[in-house]
Amino acid sequence: MSHSLGGSQKARDTLGYLRSQIVGGQWPVGELIPKEPELMELVGVGKSTIREAVRALATLGMLKTVPGVGTFVQARTPVSSLLTDFLADHDLEEVLVYRRSLEIEAAQTAAVKRTDAQLEAIRASYERSARLAEEPSELELGFTRDDSFHRLIVEASGSRLLLDLYEGVMQTLNQAAERGLVFVGATRETMLADHGALLQAIEDRDVRNAAHSMALHADRDLGIRTDTLEFAPHTERAETLIEAGLEPQRLVGE
């Protein structure tokens, strides 16, 4: 899929530059891109050219402008945005099942392919979450505040396809969370125990425990809220995994 700007080569180069910064990860998903004056200086074009390029990428679902705040990276590729639109027509429980499958594959692949640098990034994210858990004001934050731990695991799988699909799923769940339809279904303590088990399995390059730890975690970390019901979709499956001896504390030897 492509989207081009009419007019000069400068206009096309501007779009190409902005897109390359997003695709290459220099501007991470969820982060603000530089302000207009900085972009004008970086690319060497005027304000109107920058704005048109931003609009083009917003049309593709890669950027999102929030008035009074700035422009955020919403997706690394148009694929993620297209998937988000597609998933919007499906039940949220089905979306959570799809997310679970992606994350299990990512976890077990990361256990094999992760680099030392990627492992340290995952560890740093876990330790940051542990510090935040000690602050009462952070306990009720939704999952949208920081999904970096999960994203880093997907990145460590080395699969660009998994990452694109993951971003599309998370856009869908973020939008649902903003409407109050998705919530954190696990306590902070359980969340940290699950993340600790995943970290340990990936560090040990233990494919089996990485897959089982993610399966258990994905079964209980998010829930769906309706007008009359609040539940974690796969609580029974999570309990079955625990009964089978796959409680995270056992995996990390606690």
Domain residue limits, the chain:
9-74, 79-251
Tens of pLDDT along 144-180? 445 789 999 999 999 988 998 898 888 888 888 888 8
Q: Sign of the C-alpha dihedral, residues 165, 166, 169, 170?
A: negative
Say which residue the tokens 């902005």 belong to: 18
Q: List CB contacts of 15: < 8 A, sequence separation 6 or more.
A: 3, 4, 5, 53, 56, 57
Q: What is the model's pLDDT at position 103?
A: 96
Q: How many of the other CB atoms lie within 10 Å of CB of 157?
A: 24
Provide φ and ψ at 73, rounded to 5°.
Answer: -80, 120
Q: What is the model's pLDDT at position 143?
A: 47
Tens of pLDDT along 74-120? 888 777 677 777 887 788 888 988 999 999 999 999 999 999 999 99
- CA neighbor of 57 nearest in space, from 101, 126, 129, 1: 1
- Rounded to whole angstroms, how far apart are CA atoms 249 and 198? 11
Q: What pTM, to 2 d.p., does this model score?
A: 0.67
Taking all residues of the chain, what is their mean pLDDT, rounded to a whole number?
82
Domain 9-74 sits in CATH at 1.10.10.10
For residue 49, is pLDDT > 90?
Answer: yes
Domain 79-251 sits in CATH at 1.20.120.530
Task: Say whether 79-251 and 9-74 share the same fold.
Answer: no
Tens of pLDDT along 204-237? 999 999 999 999 999 888 888 766 555 545 545 5
Classify 54 in phi/psi space as left (phi over 0), alpha (psi -120 to 50) or beta: alpha
For residue 182, is pLDDT > 50?
Answer: yes
Q: What percent of the chain has pLDDT over 90?
A: 42
For residue 2, is pLDDT > 80?
Answer: no
